[in-house]
Chain A
Amino acid sequence: MADESITVVKVRDVLMVTLPADPDDASVSALQMKVLQMMEQYDATGLVLDISAVETLDSFFARTVAETAQMTALMGGRTVIAGMRPSVAITATQLGLTLGSAMTALDVDRALDTLTDAGQRGQ
Chain B
Amino acid sequence: MNAEHAGEVRIHSESDIVATRKTVRTAATQLGFGITDVTRIVTAASELARNVFRYAGSGIMRWQALDTGGRIGIELTFEDRGPGITDVEQAMQAGYTSGGGLGMGLPGAKRLMDEFEIASEIGKGTIVTAKKWHGRLGDSTS
Q: Which residues of A contact B (CB under 8 A)?
A: 22-26, 55-60, 63, 85-88, 90-91, 94-97
Structural contact, A56 and B101, CB atoms closer than 8 A: no
The answer to whether A55 and B17 have CB atoms under 8 Å apart is no
25 CB < 8 A contacts A-B: A22-B18, A22-B21, A24-B14, A24-B17, A24-B18, A55-B42, A56-B25, A57-B43, A58-B46, A59-B101, A59-B104, A60-B46, A85-B39, A86-B36, A87-B141, A90-B40, A90-B141, A94-B108, A94-B112, A95-B47, A95-B104, A95-B111, A95-B112, A96-B94, A96-B111
Inside 8 A of B17's CB, which chain A residues have their CB?
A: 24-25
Q: Is the CB of B102 within 8 A of A59?
A: yes
Nearest A residue to B47 via CB reads A58
Complex Cα gap A28–B115 (Å): 30
> B40–A94 contact, CB under 8 A?
yes
| Among all A-B residue pairs, the 6 with the closest Cβ atoms | A87-B39, A58-B46, A95-B108, A59-B104, A87-B36, A59-B102
Q: Is the CB of A55 within 8 A of B104?
A: no
Q: Is the interface of A mostly helix, strand, loop or mixed?
A: helix
Q: Judge whether A60 and B14 touch: CB under 8 Å.
A: no
* A95 neighbours in B (Cβ, 8 Å): 43, 47, 104, 108, 111-112
Residues of chain A contacted by B22 (CB below 8 angstroms): 22
Task: Tell me if B2 counts as interface (CB < 8 A to partner A).
Answer: no
Which of A26, A55, A85 has the most chain B CB atoms closer than 10 A to its own CB?
A: A55
Is A26 a contact partner of B104 (Cβ separation < 8 A)? no
Binding site for A on B (CB under 8 A): 14-15, 17-18, 21-22, 25, 35-36, 38-40, 42-43, 46-47, 50, 94, 101-102, 104-105, 107-108, 111-112, 141
Looking at chain B's contact residues, is the secondary structure mostly helix, strand, loop, or mixed? helix
Are B108 and A56 within 8 A (Cβ)?
A: no
- What residues on A are CB-neighbors of B35 within 8 Å? 87
Q: How far is the CA of A18 from the CA of B95 in the complex (A)?
A: 30
* Bound Cα distance from A97 to B39, whole angstroms: 14
- Nearest Cβ distance between residue B31 and chain A, in whole angstroms? 16
Query: Which of B18, B21, B104, B112 is close to A91, meaning CB atoms less than 8 Å apart?
Result: B112
A68 to chain B: closest CB distance in Å?
Answer: 15
